[in-house]
Amino acid sequence: MRKILSSVLLALVAVGALNADQKKLTNDQRVEILRGLMAEYATVKVALPRSPKPLDIRTDGSYDKQQFTEAMKMGVAGRVGDLVQVTHVDIERDSIILQINGGTRAKGSWKDHVSVGMGGAMNPINGGQATNAPGGTTVALRFGEPIGEVTSAEIKKMLAPVLWFDQQTVTEQAIDQLTPEVKSAVENKRVIEGMTRDEVIMAVGKPVHKSRETKDNIEYEDWIYGQPPGKVMFVTFSGAKVVKVKETYAGLGGTIAETPKPEK
């Protein structure tokens, strides 16, 4: 009988471990969450207190009103209707921690502290939209179990009773300010002459390699995308603008064939 019970317990432990593994976020899922939340703006739906300890919000949007009330002794971080920004994101086993407006310890302007983190790493991002909230705080979305498969859009819906994310993303705001021609190129992931470096990054991301050379006392910088075997794109800058875009196909043996331009 004891052997049977031991076997059953071991089986249950194994199933529990398997379920935990199945619920574990993949690296791609983590990256999507970070990208979808970092530097995002939200409208405050419930008065947010300043709190160095994360304010708990459950996945159904409910929160501990007593915790919020007690934390108000430190002051208000966001009034109802205020616009706030997520300035740091941490993903834990069963929680997602969002720093709002630089948290309570930010020195200087909280806008200089916009960052995203995973596994202890932090990368600064400077926000460009003004907010009208008086201070910063930290909130934690508590899942009560390993997070599992979830998207940034679903997380925003969970937070909606407290923080309403019905705002354009930072990237969307930047794209809307582009000229129609450049906006079309960015949306179609193309590079055209006249683009700035920031616009190229919005369209196709950062290059694999960069190189510089001087011809006739004019300095050129090449951004190289792709690698053999396959399509390789050279984006040439002179000053702040793209002056030439060239696409080729590079084989393993070093053979290069220029990609024909589409007929107009």
160 and 203 co-located in one domain: no
- Same domain assignment for residues 163 and 35: yes
Per-residue pLDDT, averaged over 147-152, amounts to 93
Which is nearest to 116 in space by CA: 171, 202, 27, 40?
40
CB 122 within 8 A of CB 116: yes
Mean pLDDT of 43-62: 95
The answer on pLDDT for 21 being more than 60 is no
In this structure, the answer to whether residues 250 and 201 fall within a common structural domain is: yes
In this predicted structure, the answer to whether residue 139 has a pLDDT above a threshold of 90 is yes
| Residue 137 included in any domain | yes
Q: In the predicted model, is pLDDT for residue 113 greater than 60?
A: no
Question: Above 50 in pLDDT, residue 195?
Answer: yes
Q: Looking at the whole model, is its pTM more than 0.85?
A: no
Domain count, the chain: 2
Query: Region 138-165: what's the mean pLDDT?
Result: 95
Assign 229 a pLDDT band (cuts: 50, 70, 90): confident
Q: What whole-number distance in Å separates Cα of residue 83 and Cα of residue 162?
A: 12
CA 194 – CA 203 distance, rounded (Å): 13
Q: Which of 73-82, 95-104, 105-114, 222-231 has the lowest mean pLDDT?
A: 105-114
pLDDT tops 70 at residue 205: yes
Same domain, 126 and 76: yes
pLDDT computed for residue 244 by the predictor: 97
pLDDT number for residue 4:
43
Determine if the peptide bond prior to 229 is cis (ω within 30°).
yes
pLDDT band at 126 (very low <50, low <70, confident <90, very high): very low
- Provide the H-helix boundaries in the chain: 2-23, 27-37, 65-71, 152-159, 170-176, 180-187, 197-204
Query: Span 8-30, mean pLDDT?
Result: 57
Which domain, by its residues, includes 160?
Answer: 27-167
- Determine the Cα–Cα distance for residues 152 and 38; give it in Å rounded to an integer: 10
The answer to whether residues 143 and 68 belong to one domain is yes
User: Residue 66: CB partners within 8 Å, gap ≥ 6?
Assistant: none
Domain endpoint, select from 133, 167, 201: 167
What per-residue confidence (pLDDT) applies to 8? Answer: 38
